[in-house]
């Protein structure tokens, strides 16, 4: 059983929802993700696999931000991709509000995705990038324009509607990418190293801003990062991964004060 730890500040509402028996959200149970090793050579006959995620269980309650933290290759992205439906589960289940997502394709999960490179559409201006998901939902133009303006303002880019993507800085691109991911009001936002390509100072500032934006929009989020400071700045709870396993999930201060194992303590450092 994974300890959920206690919340503070804006997390109190989440804690209250849990106590009421409400606040359901994402439940990952005993999930295993395996990859076939590269074909050829010795592996061809043995059908050997890499276990990227090794029986991981994790809850993310509605309105909560959970960061997955761990060194390169520990399986964070694989777990996030499995939740998104981009990787098949070798074992275990992923549910939302108790509804099993097995067999539900990526685009039907109502989850948003944001990656290290925001992958903006280069031929659309900033506003039309943000509007993309709203167009797909056939939101009428005036309502769309209002929502795009509101989202750009929320991410600190008020008035940027007509700016060409090529003229935006790295930080501005990721802000647009965040606004675009939030536009269709995803029930869960999955962020994979969204700030990693930015320099440290900007990363620190944006981590705090991402948290503010997610909280202001009441967005439930799973945030993958290898950066301790970023995880602690963004999340209500932080999950530490190593070798495909989830070692501990706890609020930042609890993780610092009471690491559950020597491995967690060593990873977090002094």
CA-closest candidate to residue 66, choices 35, 16, 26, 20:
26
Backbone angles phi, psi at 135, to 5 degrees: -65, -45
List, as one string, the DSSP characters of 47-102. T-EEEEEEEEEEEE-TT-EEEEE--TTSSHHHHHHHHHTSS--SEEEEEETTEE-T
> Closer CB to ligand ATP, residue 59 or residue 192?
192
**Least distance (Å) from ligand ATP to the CB of residue 77?**
3
Residue 268 buriedness (CB in 10 A; 0-12 / 13-18 / 19+): middle
**Least distance (Å) from ligand ATP to the CB of residue 28?**
14
**Least distance (Å) from ligand ATP to the CB of residue 74?**
4
> Closer CB to ligand ATP, residue 11 or residue 248?
248
The rounded distance, in Å, linking the Cα atoms of 165 and 25 is 34
> Closer CB to ligand ATP, residue 46 or residue 72?
72
**Least distance (Å) from ligand ATP to the CB of residue 67?**
13
**Least distance (Å) from ligand ATP to the CB of residue 59?**
20
**Site for ligand ATP, rule CB under 6 A:** 35, 50, 52, 70, 72-78, 226
> Closer CB to ligand ATP, residue 14 or residue 210?
210
**Least distance (Å) from ligand ATP to the CB of residue 50?**
5
**Least distance (Å) from ligand ATP to the CB of residue 206?**
18
The rounded distance, in Å, linking the Cα atoms of 28 and 55 is 10
> Closer CB to ligand ATP, residue 83 or residue 182?
83
Strand partners, 191: 114, 223
> Closer CB to ligand ATP, residue 23 or residue 244?
244
Residue 10 CB coordination number (10 Å): 16
C-beta of residue 111 within 8 angstroms of C-beta of residue 99: no
> Closer CB to ligand ATP, residue 79 or residue 152?
79
CA-closest candidate to residue 26, choices 79, 72, 87, 75:
79
């Amino acid at each position: 059983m994974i300890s959920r730890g206690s919340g503070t500040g804006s997390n109190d509402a989440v804690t209250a929802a849990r106590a009421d028996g409400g606040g359901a959200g994402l439940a990952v149970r005993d999930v295993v993700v395996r990859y076939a090793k590269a074909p050829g050579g010795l592996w061809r006959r043995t059908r050997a696999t890499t276990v990227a995620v090794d029986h991981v269980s994790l809850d993310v309650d509605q309105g909560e931000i959970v960061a997955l933290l761990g060194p390169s290759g520990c399986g964070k992205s694989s777990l996030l991709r499995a939740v998104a439906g981009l990787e098949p589960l070798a074992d275990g289940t992923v549910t939302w509000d108790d509804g099993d997502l097995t067999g539900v394709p990526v685009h039907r999960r109502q989850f948003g995705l944001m990656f290290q490179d925001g992958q903006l559409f280069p031929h659309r201006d900033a506003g039309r990038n943000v509007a993309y998901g709203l167009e797909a939902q056939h939101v009428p133009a005036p309502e769309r324009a209002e929502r795009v303006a509101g989202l750009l303002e929320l991410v600190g880019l008020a008035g940027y509607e007509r700016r060409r993507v090529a003229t935006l800085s790295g930080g501005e691109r990721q802000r647009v990418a965040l606004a675009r991911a939030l536009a269709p009001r995803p029930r869960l936002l999955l962020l994979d190293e969204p700030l990693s390509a930015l320099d440290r100072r900007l990363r620190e500032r944006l981590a705090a801003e991402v948290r503010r934006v997610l909280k202001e929009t009441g967005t439930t989020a799973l945030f993958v990062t290898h950066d301790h400071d970023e995880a602690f700045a963004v999340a209500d709870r932080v999950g530490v991964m190593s070798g495909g396993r989830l070692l501990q999930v706890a609020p930042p201060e609890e993780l610092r004060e009471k690491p559950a194992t020597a491995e967690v303590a060593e990873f977090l450092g002094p």
